[in-house]
Every structure is written in structure tokens, then in C-alpha cells.
């Protein structure tokens, strides 16, 4: 899940809520939405092929 921050950057959050904190895990902050979407694809690939 990608959200735009007040600073203009984009942050990638995990899809599931972290049971320990009750919030979504931060998976990285990026300058452009395209970079965040690319990293999201990399994360999904790694989860299945890691």
C-alpha cells in the first residue's frame, strides 16, 4: 500500500497489519510513486522466490 506523505514523498506499507504494533510495517520511503511501485513489485517477488 502506497501513501503520499506531507513532504511529497511516497511511503510503502505492508499489506497486513503488524500484530505486535497494530500498524502496518514501513517498507521504505521513495521520492516518486514509480519508485515505490517498483519496490512493491520487488518485495512481492522476493516473498515468493526468496
State the average pLDDT over residues 9-27.
Answer: 96
Contact 36, 12 (CB under 8 A): yes
Residue 50 is predicted with a pLDDT of 72
State the average pLDDT over residues 10-15.
Answer: 96
Q: For cell 511516497, what's the residue?
A: 10
Summarised one tens digit per residue, pLDDT across range 24-50 is 999 999 999 999 999 999 999 999 997
Residue 18 is predicted with a pLDDT of 95
Q: pTM, whole model, 2 decimals?
A: 0.86
What HEC string does the chain produce?
CEEECCCCCEEEEEEEECCCCCCEEEEEEECCHHHHHHHHHHHHHHHHHC
Q: Domain-by-domain residue ranges, the chain?
A: 2-49
Give the residue from 41, 16, 13, 40 showing the smallest Cα distance to 27.
13
Q: Radius of gyration over alpha carbons of the chain, in Å?
A: 11
Confidence band for 20, pLDDT divided at 50, 70 and 90? very high
Amino acid at each position: 500500500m502506497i501513501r503520499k506523505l506531507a513532504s511529497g514523498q511516497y511511503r510503502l506499507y505492508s499489506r497486513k497489519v503488524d500484530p505486535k504494533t497494530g500498524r502496518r510495517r514501513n517498507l521504505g520511503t521513495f521520492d516518486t510513486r514509480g519508485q515505490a511501485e517498483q519496490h512493491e513489485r520487488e518485495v512481492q517477488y522476493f516473498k515468493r522466490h526468496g
